[in-house]
């Protein structure tokens, strides 16, 4: 009787221990990032999904872009491995406070008190741009790898104004969707990767502008250029000169504005320029 009780106790200990191990082993993976960031999930990835969107992995790694205004919450992201296994993880998005950027004594008053003609021009330009930037199922593989190439050589430190809330002479305007780099006017602006030119035109607010499609849903944007060296549908290569840095459009001086949309999300382009190991990882 005593021996039988000891066996039952031993089995119970083993069961409890195994249950605790199983719970630990199957604990869901997760990652926490601020709005406008990028998340990576490395390891034999074939396909990645986030909400209703899905796309191919980039060289075996799933990347999940988080829009700069995505609602802070916990989301589910998934991936399919090369072995056919479906895995899920939790993505916690936290708010990135909007830093105020007040631009005073702005002399280009036509960009503050915008005429009806220029308002109509801007609406017409956006009717052309926005369809290019909206997410759509894109089965084309990436023609880039991370990190991408620098948009200028040398590339000075960015001004840290991605996502800032701006005012011009006290009047509030839209948030800044890119990162500005204090590159000298006239210096070459370079494509961050291989791709195809979606648009190259002069726009009211962004001045001489270029949009490049790099496959896998990644679009890079270059604004306020002095000159344009490429045309629509032209194929460009990594590091190719696509224009020269300037101050066209609504600017306070010459600089290079780099923007990025990935699977429709407006992200800080700085995440594309750093080593993948430095991008927040699902663990």
Residues 120 and 206 in one domain: yes
Residues 70 and 131 in one domain: no
pLDDT of residue 191: 98
Task: Determine, yes or no, domain membership for 21.
Answer: no
Task: Determine, yes or no, domain membership for 15.
Answer: no
Residues 106 and 243 in one domain: yes
pLDDT of residue 197: 97
What residues contact 42, with CB distance under 8 A and at least 6 apart? 60, 61, 62, 276, 281
- CA nearest neighbour of 114 among 205, 199, 188: 205
pLDDT tens over the chain, length 283 residues: 444 444 544 444 444 444 443 333 456 899 999 999 999 999 999 999 999 899 999 999 999 999 999 999 999 999 999 999 999 999 999 999 999 999 999 999 999 999 999 999 999 999 999 999 887 665 677 889 999 999 999 999 999 999 999 999 999 998 999 999 999 999 999 999 999 999 999 999 999 999 999 999 999 999 999 999 999 999 999 999 999 999 999 999 999 999 999 999 999 999 999 999 999 999 9
Residues 201 and 243 in one domain: yes
Residues 148 and 273 in one domain: yes
**Alpha-carbon span 140 to 18, nearest angstrom:** 45
Residues 144 and 270 in one domain: yes
pLDDT of residue 138: 58
pLDDT of residue 123: 98
Q: Into how many domains does the chain fold?
A: 2
* pTM check: above 0.85: yes
Residues 199 and 119 in one domain: yes
**Alpha-carbon span 228 to 200, nearest angstrom:** 7
Residues 35 and 131 in one domain: no
pLDDT of residue 10: 43
Q: From residue 44, give the alpha-carbon distance in Å to each of 53, 148, 275.
A: 20, 21, 18
**Residues spanned by the domain of 49:** 26-94
pLDDT of residue 58: 95
Burial class of residue 114, CB neighbours in 10 A (0-12, 13-18, 19+):
middle
Q: From residue 126, give the alpha-carbon distance in Å to each of 4, 63, 119, 258.
A: 79, 28, 11, 18
Task: Determine, yes or no, domain membership for 70.
Answer: yes
- CA nearest neighbour of 169 among 110, 226, 126, 115: 110
* Domain termination site, one of 58, 75, 94: 94
**Alpha-carbon span 192 to 207, nearest angstrom:** 20
pLDDT of residue 137: 61
């Amino acid at each position: 009787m005593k021996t039988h009780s000891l066996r039952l106790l031993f089995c119970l200990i083993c069961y409890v221990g195994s249950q605790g191990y199983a719970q630990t082993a199957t604990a869901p993976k997760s990652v926490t990032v601020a709005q406008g960031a990028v998340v990576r999930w490395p390891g034999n990835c074939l396909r990645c999904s986030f909400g209703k969107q899905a796309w191919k992995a980039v060289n075996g790694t799933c990347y999940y872009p988080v829009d700069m205004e995505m609602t802070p919450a916990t989301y589910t992201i998934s991936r399919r491995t090369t072995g056919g296994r479906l895995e899920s993880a939790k993505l916690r998005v936290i708010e990135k406070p909007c830093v105020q950027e007040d631009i005073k004594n702005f002399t280009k008053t036509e960009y503050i008190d915008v005429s009806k003609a220029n308002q109509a021009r801007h609406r017409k330009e956006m009717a052309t741009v926005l369809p290019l930037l909206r997410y759509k199922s894109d089965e084309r593989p990436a023609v880039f790898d991370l990190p991408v190439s620098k948009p200028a050589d040398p590339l000075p430190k960015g001004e840290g104004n991605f996502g800032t809330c701006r005012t011009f002479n006290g009047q509030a305007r839209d948030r800044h969707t890119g990162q500005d780099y204090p590159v000298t006017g006239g210096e070459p602006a370079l494509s961050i990767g291989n791709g195809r030119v979606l648009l190259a035109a002069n726009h009211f607010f962004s001045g001489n502008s270029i949009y490049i499609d790099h496959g896998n849903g990644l679009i890079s944007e270059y604004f306020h250029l002095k000159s344009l060296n490429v045309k629509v549908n032209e194929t460009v290569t990594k590091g190719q000169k696509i224009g020269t840095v300037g101050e066209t459009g609504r600017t306070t001086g010459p600089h290079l504005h780099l923007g990025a949309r990935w699977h429709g999300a407006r992200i800080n382009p700085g995440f594309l320029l750093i080593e993948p190991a430095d991008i927040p990882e699902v663990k």
